Amino acid sequence: MTAVETPVATPPAPQPAGRAGFRLETVSEWTKLRSIRSTWICLAIIVVLSIGLSALVCFAQAKHWTVACGDRLTFDPVSASQIGALLSQFVVGVLGALVITSEYATGLIRTTFATVPRRTTVLGAKALVVSVVILVVSEITIFISFLVGQSVLTAMGGKVYPSAAAFEAKVAPFVGRHLSSCPTIPMSRLPIPVANFSTPGALRALILGGIYLTILTLVAVGFGVILRHTAGTISLFVGVLLILPLLIQLLPSNWSGPIAKYLPNGLGQAMTSPNGLNYDGNPLMSPWTALVILVIYVVVVLGVGATLLNRRDA
């Protein structure tokens, strides 16, 4: 990097038609996202951890199946293969936050606004790029997790039941409440249920799982614009997703129940349950209602973020 001879820049060239707008900014944001290592690390964590954890949980559930009376009726092979998504929630939060806060940490945001002065355009392009990436990666991960998880269950002796009713009829004599003791039932007599794409609600739950993670990413983007600091943004995100539900549980149960189902993770549970039941077998909100409420949340968060972005000094 020695100094070069005095450079002679070319005289200003005529300008092309159009303007530095949304389309070009989207291309630029994709370059930014793919050119840093942390993006690929986050995505690798989502893929590897989700698939690995789901396979592990399916294996453990199948092992447990022969001895567990009480858990048999509520076992859901779709959810069992999607446990990894619980961890992915936090990884997409980090990725969504960094898209914004890493630029504030270095001052790069000012260079960005000096190339594209319309800040809402910048925010929109960032949100679009990161959410498309997360949507694609998380849907692929979710479907692979599903296929791996069901393969593990099948390999352990599980089988696909023709219907939920058929499974219930078969399992009813063996669940805890009908028995004085809990004998070990060999897998061959009562195979663990396995899901496939025609299992009712399975496909919907898988697709909404990716959409849920995508919306969470956008919530983190919005928090990032509002707070502008990486640590604060991730703390707020984890607080809303993890700490808030715990605090709500400290309330009397006739309060905590109705509140909890409107928290993001409660809505996520409603979106990703194939049978409309929670882990305890209690009914959940309709997945579509949950989706609409979550979309309202993210629109509000991003709207507040965009307003502050335009009003504040960069």
Whole-number Å distance between alpha carbons of 311 and 287: 36
Choose between 1 and 246: whose C-beta lies nearer to other proteins: 1
Q: Does 314 bind other proteins (CB under 8 A)?
A: yes
Smallest distance, Å, CB 109 to other proteins? 8
User: Quick one: 39 or 196, whose CB is closer to other proteins?
Assistant: 39
The CA distance from 128 to 27, in Å, is: 11
SS3 content of the chain, % helix, strand, coil (to 5): 70, 0, 30
The answer to whether residue 214 forms part of the interface with other proteins (CB under 8 A) is no
1 binds other proteins (CB under 8 A): yes
d(CA 96, CA 127): 8
Nearer of residues 18 and 162 to other proteins, judged by Cβ: 18
116/298 with CB nearer other proteins: 116
- Give the residue among 152, 131, 149, 286 at the shortest CA–CA distance from 210: 131
CB atoms within 10 A of CB 296: 10
Is residue 4 a contact residue for other proteins (CB under 8 A)?
yes
Tally of CA atoms within 13 A in the half-sphere of 306 that contains its CB: 17
First to last CA, the chain: 32
Number of residues that bind other proteins (CB under 8 A): 44
CB of 124 to other proteins, least distance (A): 13
Q: Which is nearer to other proteins, 106 or 163 (CB)?
A: 106
| Contact pattern from residue 83 through residue 122 relative to other proteins, giving x for each residue in contact according to CB under 8 A and a dash for the rest | -------------------xx--xxx-xxxxxxxxx----
Of 11 and 183, the one with the shorter C-beta distance to other proteins is: 11
Q: How far is the CB of 8 from other proteins (least distance, A)?
A: 6
- Residue 193 three-state SS: strand
Burial of 293 (0-12, 13-18, 19+ CB in 10 A): middle
Site for other proteins in 37-66 (CB under 8 A): 37-38
How is residue 133 written in tokens? 């990436």
By CB under 8 A, is residue 126 in contact with other proteins? no
Structure tokens, 54: 């789901």
Element (H, E) at 40: helix 37-65
Check residue 289 for interaction with other proteins (CB under 8 A): no
* 128 touching other proteins, by CB under 8 A: no
Closest CB to other proteins among 106 and 249?
106
CB of 39 to other proteins, least distance (A): 9
> Count H helices, E strands: the chain?
13, 0
Q: Which is nearer to other proteins, 111 or 163 (CB)?
A: 111
CA 144 to chain centre: 15
CA–CA dist 10, 112 (Å, integer) = 24
Contact between 231 and other proteins by CB under 8 A: the answer reads no
Region of 30-38, 127-135, 249-257, 271-279 interacting with other proteins (CB under 8 A): 30-38
State the residues that interact with other proteins by CB under 8 A. 1-4, 6-13, 15-16, 18-20, 24-25, 27-29, 31-32, 35-38, 102-103, 106-108, 110-118, 313-314
